[in-house]
Amino acid sequence: MDSTTRGLDTIDDVEASGMPVLDLERFLPYRLSLLANTVSRLLARLYDQEHGLTVAEWRLIAILARFGPLSANDVCDRSAMDKVRVSRAVSRATGAGLVDRQIDGQDRRRSVLSLTPRGRAIHDHVVPLALDRQEQVLAGLSEEEREQLSLLLDKLLTNAVRAAPRDHISAD
């Protein structure tokens, strides 16, 4: 134990020492993580129980449905998932017949991912259920509060992207 922490056993000791105190319950990254993980688990039940999908596989399907066809690197950029997690999701989803991988016609070193009809059907089945869960989470917020929340989240994301080196941003 070094001399700077010796004798600082309680939060009162830390506060009395003049050292900065991390009020975890008010710390933004902690609160956002709790919220994101709680909502992700709530949604994960939908696509895991009915379709056997992981969070990463669902993100892949949702991103391809909205922005596809894309390369795996493009999926990484849009999802903030790392390459290993995307690669595993792509492998499982292609193996399950949900995602198709083709060689890019303009760059033969690159593959392009798109949803198969089965992947699209799962997406179309899960989306209304996911939107219903989102509505449950947002219940009690007025339309004005919802718009304000959206604006604030946009600002926080912009600030976080500016503050972080590009290659270290991750949603995990």
Q: Report which secondary-structure segment, H or E, holds 62.
A: helix 55-67
Name which of 124, 131, 135 is nearest 51 in CA terms. Answer: 124
Residue 172 confidence class, pLDDT cut points 50, 70, 90: very low
| Whole-number pLDDT of residue 109 | 79
Per-chain mean pLDDT for the chain? 87
Mean pLDDT lowest for which of 40-44, 45-49, 131-135, 163-167? 163-167
Least confident of 35-49, 79-93, 94-108, 154-168: 154-168
Which of the two residues, 110 and 148, has the higher pLDDT score? 148
Contact between 114 and 66 (Cβ < 8 Å): no
Residue with tokens 């009162």: 12
Amino acid at 53: L
What CA–CA distance (Å, rounded) separates 57 from 146? 28
d(CA 47, CA 138): 20
Say if strands 111-115 and 99-103 run parallel, antiparallel, or are unpaired: antiparallel
Global confidence as pTM: 0.77
pLDDT over 50 at 70, yes or no: yes
Q: Look-up: residue for tokens 């590009």?
A: 166
Q: Does residue 58 contact residue 50 with C-beta atoms inside 8 Å?
A: no
* Structural domains in the chain plus CATH codes: 25-168 (1.10.10.10)
Euclidean distance between CA atoms 29 and 36, whole angstroms: 10
Q: For residue 88, how many other CB atoms are within 10 A of its CB?
A: 15
More confident residue, 107 or 158: 158
3-state secondary structure of 43: helix
Q: Is the pLDDT score of 16 beyond 90?
A: no
